[in-house]
Homo-oligomer: A and B are copies of this chain.
Amino acid sequence: MRLIQSKENPQYKQLVRISQGKKAEGQLFVWLEGIHLSQAWLDAGYEVVLAAFDAERLTQQHELQQLAQRLDERICMSLTPSLMRALSSVEQGQGIGLVVQAPPTIATQAITQSCVYLDRIQDPGNVGTLLRTMAAAGINRAFLSPGCAWAWSQKVLRSAQGAHFAMQVHEQIERAQFIQLAQIPIYATALEHAEPLYRLDLAQPIAWVFGNEGQGVHTELLEQAQQRVFIPQVEQVESLNVAAAAAVCLFEQRRQLHWVRV
């Protein structure tokens, strides 16, 4: 495995650019950091462009050695600890990062199974937690509107803990496009003119819509939705965080689908 010791090395400079990558038109490469995400990516059977290891830790840690063995040596490089630290977005890095290509996000297939549309969810932690909750609830497709946090940013990846790899994540999907694709009822969360969650029949495919942290779901989506839903909570208390609200909805659907005696 090649050892890189200089921050002037051209390939290292490329790694720095990718690891700092912000969402951009034509952004091709994504930096996946840490043991868990790397394992999950490989377990999902996806390809790796480049792999960077902390040279010192690689000699000491069995988990890193195991990961190295799963990869083609030609795409692996080891870095001095200080160079590796400079690539990390967390204080305590784990000595490994992968450069990968994010899967395509184009959405043309009609929606016939339960899915989620995120309408301008700005906080990366919320987007990540939402994806993680969807994966746990068995949702296979996520649609993100323009204005959502970039799904492949470091913070979203960290919060989602690998959920991306268990589903298709479509980004930059306009509301109109989502509405057009949906061949199943759209259920949008709303505080007004809405039915309580626990009165609804959820044992069917549903296209869920969850909205912006401050403003909620956009009017256009509320008007087009077959059903507006609210979660019955204590009155005169601030509404739920969007990721908590989605967890309640998606798992109530799951309960009705799998846990109600016929």
The list of the 8 closest CB pairs from A to B, nearest first, reads A244-B247, A198-B259, A136-B233, A161-B238, A248-B251, A247-B247, A138-B234, A135-B237
Structural contact, A234 and B135, CB atoms closer than 8 A = yes
Structural contact, B243 and A241, CB atoms closer than 8 A = yes
A117 to chain B, nearest CB (A): 18
Cα A40 to Cα B198 with chains together (Å): 29
Chain B residues whose CB sits within 8 angstroms of the CB of A135 once the complex forms? 234, 237-238
Closest partner residue, chain B, to A234 (CB atom): B138
Structural contact, B258 and A232, CB atoms closer than 8 A = yes
A13 to chain B, nearest CB (A): 30
- Given A233-B136, A251-B231, A259-B232, verify A241-B129 contact (CB < 8 Å): yes
Structural contact, B198 and A237, CB atoms closer than 8 A = no
CB of A35 within 8 Å of the partner chain? no
Q: Interface code A226-247, partner B: CB below 8 Å = 1, 0 otherwise?
A: 0000011110011111011111
A142 to chain B, nearest CB (A): 14
Chain B residues whose CB sits within 8 angstroms of the CB of A259 once the complex forms? 196, 198-199, 232
CB of A166 within 8 Å of the partner chain? yes
Identical chains in the assembly: 2
Structural contact, B138 and A255, CB atoms closer than 8 A = no
CB of A163 within 8 Å of the partner chain? yes
- Given A132-B244, A234-B136, verify A255-B198 contact (CB < 8 Å): yes
Closest partner residue, chain B, to A163 (CB atom): B238
Cα A233 to Cα B259 with chains together (Å): 12
Structural contact, A237 and B163, CB atoms closer than 8 A = yes
CB of A252 within 8 Å of the partner chain? yes
Cβ < 8 Å to B, chain A residues 127-180: 129, 132-133, 135-138, 159, 161-163, 166
CB of A125 within 8 Å of the partner chain? yes
Cα A233 to Cα B255 with chains together (Å): 10
Q: What are 24 A-B interface contacts by the 8 Å CB criterion?
A: A125-B125, A129-B244, A132-B238, A132-B240, A132-B244, A133-B241, A133-B244, A135-B237, A136-B244, A138-B233, A159-B241, A161-B238, A163-B237, A166-B234, A199-B259, A232-B258, A232-B259, A233-B254, A243-B243, A244-B247, A245-B247, A247-B247, A248-B251, A252-B252
Chain B residues whose CB sits within 8 angstroms of the CB of A199 once the complex forms? 259
Cα A231 to Cα B166 with chains together (Å): 19
Structural contact, A238 and B198, CB atoms closer than 8 A = no
Cα A251 to Cα B138 with chains together (Å): 19
